[in-house]
Structure 1
Amino acid sequence: MAAAPGATPDSAPAAGAGEVEGERVKPFTPEKAKEIIMSLQQPAVFCNMAFDWPAHHWTAKHLSEVLHDKQIRFRMGMKRTDTVPQFETTCAYVEATLEEFLTWNCNQSTISGPFRDYDHSKFWAYADYKYFISLFDDKTDIFQDVIWSDFGFPGRNGRESTLWIGSMGAHTPCHLDSYGCNLVFQVQGRKRWHLFPPEDTPFLYPTRIPYEESSVFSKINVVNPDLQRFPQFCKARRYMVTLKPGQVLFVPRHWWHYVESIDPVTVSINSWIELVEETSHEVNCHYLNRAVSALFDYRTSKVVEIQALRTNRDDMKKEGLNVHHHMEVEQMDDQDLLLGTIKQEAASPFGPDLVPVILSSEELPSERRGIFEGDGKDFVGKDGEHPGKLHCTKRQRTMSKNEDVVAEQTASDSSMAPSQTFISTDDLLDCLVNPQVTRIVAQLLIKGRSLWS
């Protein structure tokens, strides 16, 4: 059975991993780690994979000594939760050193300097998206302190990494990254991750406003959602994990995430892994055509196979063979095949050193109430439920057709703005990032192909 996500990074290696000549051995080889990353479809936490990285000791205090008087841009936000996300474009910014940040973060009432206008009890600060290549431009040797090659990506280190330093309450609004997967190494403090699968995109009300080249944001503050304005959000499935120092979180491509610091100081390092090389529009269309053709051919072959089976059984009846016995044997073979498939799928990479991020069904931890003022207590849903709950109790787990999702979303949107008779740029962008729309287009392509044949 897998260990709890809270397992400490210094826990003993998995059974069989052991130690060789008194040295700790990592639970996965680089080749195996990459295989897991390339195949895993859900978030997971790697433990005991970075215990020997020099960056393991990169506390904010240590980095303040390394960077000395270097000015860093901090995003300032309010320690409160209303129903509107605190987008980067609506926040104030401060240029300061890490030493000045740490002094302010000690909650000194007579502080002077760049943070003097920001009461520590009311504001948080976040040095986010700090690329190593610009932050340590004169200290390139430090790139070697981050060893992503342990995860099967030779040569990848700090040069392809980003640094994040924040105070308690610092967070990024819910968004998805449009490029590859994400590996996040937690160095100091803890961060709570709220993750949503790509299939739930319609329930997260995606928007490209504010525009950010590589990300798509949600219109919802997922820790205090306005369910009257965004009723479909209650259908979204929330996965949660508290990432601790020494652990590495794997976030698959296109998974939505909201990340918040829950300790006085947090330090994280991440790298986005490009899973597919960029290709031209012509090549992409070629691959799409091949995929649609393959799916159509597969469905055609299945129809032919079923027709052949029916013909064979009719012939057997005419010849007076024991069809009943034959079908029993065939059914047993099918069951054996099914059981074999289930057993194969049950062979999971999860264990003490690779912990899956699980679906959460509990109320937001009371711990976060100490971070913010006003958790939306005055707002209560139609059924008397607080919107802070991660799920609606009446959430439908299955839906009959993908088209129903789009129709339902369209109906709810039109009910909110019945007088709207135009399509805005935001509406168009929302449509383009909606996976349900992509699926319907694919179905239309397949249907058209069958009509043309």
Structure 2
Amino acid sequence: METSAIKDVILNTRKPVVLKNLDIPWNCFQQTLNDWLSCLDDSNASKSGFRFDCGSLRNGFRPQWERSRGTVNMSMINFYRDASTKHGHFKDNWASYSYRCIQELPKECRAGIDYGMFGFSDIGEDVSFWIGSEGAHTPCHYDTYGCNIVVQTHGRKSWLLFPPEAKLQRTRVPYEESSVYCEENFYSPAAYSSLIGVENDSYHVILEPGMVLVVPPKWWHYVETLECSVNFNTWIQLEIDTEEHISECLTRLIVQDYSKNLSAETLRHVFNPNELTKIDLPTSSDLQTTLQYLLDKQEYNKRQRQERSRYSSNYLSQNELEQLLSNNTNYIASVKKLDNHEFFCLMKTNSHRYDTSFNRSSDDEEENVQAENAINRACHPDQIQLMKNSLRV
């Protein structure tokens, strides 16, 4: 399949698709997972191991937010050995070393990784890698920017996806810049009742080594590792992202301003752990400067009608896209839409992990609930749009 055709599919597909049977010339595909992880261990000069996030294989009725997780230090080889045999720490827990830039990897581990074969040679090393054991997962969310390209190199991962209009309960708590979470728990649902309304819009695929998943903008996704796995991804910046950057900047201003007088405990409830380290940065003044830059940039883009660092999207008609897909069925497959029965069977399986002892009372403490409700009201898309409109008067 020609690179230009792959690029056109990525930038124009309205639904998630899988690219398959591609000859991806990355060195990691020539290595076993054991060899690749051993190479990563060898690069750890201190020999102190790697800090993994970890969580229980059982869970309560809320999503397993990052604030409820722990950490464990171990070598990559010990991680792989114990996770593969469900020995030691992995009898009751999962672990992940995720959302890391490939610049952390030794040259031997990242050799050949280049998104140029997909039509995006300018990506360079703006690529993330994800390592996880069985049960490691990310609560359901959507990314506010870009188009996501995921390359599975080792092991298998389950992706449950929903379109932007799916009837999911969005929340900005826990707050993370560029990620919007939903309240629904797909890891250990207590009952079907909390999920009724989304069963008609669910798509599911199990990514295996060599498969490439394209997630269109703002598609919700719940991702779970089925066995020890490694995958890489990047987000392609689109021309339409400037609008979302403005929305996210306004959201950050609201959340940061509201949080000034919150207790340390409630701050841990409101912010994802990776955001807590930068809670005082940038300052409101910095954010306002950024906001003005984005507004000026948006006006400039309207005049120029293009921007070199971002890509146009949806420039093919639906008929042109369908023709492109039908001409390349050996290399492209649409992600399967589940029927209601299949969706609820999947949720029934996941519900076996539900355990009432993991329902955390701290989530119900009055200050935490008040802060969450206030932030969600203030950051509702309609409110953000009103603010954006007023800035343009």
Partner of 1:105: 83
Alpha carbon RMSD of aligned pairs, Å? 3.8
CA distance in 1, matches of 2:346, 2:109: 35
Partner of 2:74: 96
User: Judging changes above 3 Å, is the alpha-carbon distance between structure 1 residues 189 and 131 closer, same or farther for their aligned structure 2 residues?
Assistant: same
List per-residue Cα deviations over 1:224-280 (Å, max 9, x = no partner).
Answer: 4456885764466211111111010001111111111123x1111111221237583
**TM-score, scaled relative to structure 2:** 0.67
User: Judging changes above 3 Å, is the alpha-carbon distance between structure 1 residues 424 and 148 closer, same or farther for their aligned structure 2 residues?
Assistant: same
Q: Percent identity?
A: 29
Q: Does 1:363 align with 2:333?
A: no
Alignment of 1:48-447 (within 5 A): 48-69=21-42, 70=44, 71-107=49-85, 118=89, 120-134=90-104, 136=105, 139-140=106-107, 142-157=109-124, 159-200=125-166, 203-225=167-189, 230=194, 233-234=197-198, 237-263=201-227, 265-276=228-239, 278=242, 280-283=293-296, 286=299, 346-350=322-326, 351-361=329-339, 362-364=341-343, 374-376=352-354, 426-427=372-373, 429-430=375-376
SS at match of 2:81: helix
User: Judging changes above 3 Å, is the alpha-carbon distance between structure 1 residues 238 and 441 closer, same or farther for their aligned structure 2 residues?
Assistant: farther
List per-residue Cα deviations over 1:375-404 (Å, max 9, x = no partner).
Answer: 4599xxxxxxxxxxxxxxxxxxxxxxxxxx
TM-superposed CA distance for 1:105, in Å, is 1.8
CA distance in 1, matches of 2:81, 2:62: 30
TM-superposed CA distance for 1:171, in Å, is 1.0
Give the AA of the match of 2:178. S
Larger RCO, structures 1/2 (Cα 8 Å, 6+ apart): 2
8 Å contact from structure 1 (residues 199, 435) kept in 2: no
Picking from 19, 36, 42, the partner of 2:9 is: 36
Name structure 2 gaps, 5 residues minimum.
246-292, 304-316, 357-365
CA distance in 2, matches of 1:225, 1:373: 5
Give the AA of the match of 2:201. R
Count of equivalent residues: 310
CA distance in 1, matches of 2:346, 2:203: 17
SS at match of 2:91: coil
SS at match of 1:355: strand
8 Å contact from structure 1 (residues 181, 251) kept in 2: yes
User: Judging changes above 3 Å, is the alpha-carbon distance between structure 1 residues 188 and 44 closer, same or farther for their aligned structure 2 residues?
Assistant: same
**TM-score, scaled relative to structure 1:** 0.59
Q: Which has the larger share of helix?
A: 2
CA distance in 1, matches of 2:206, 2:107: 31
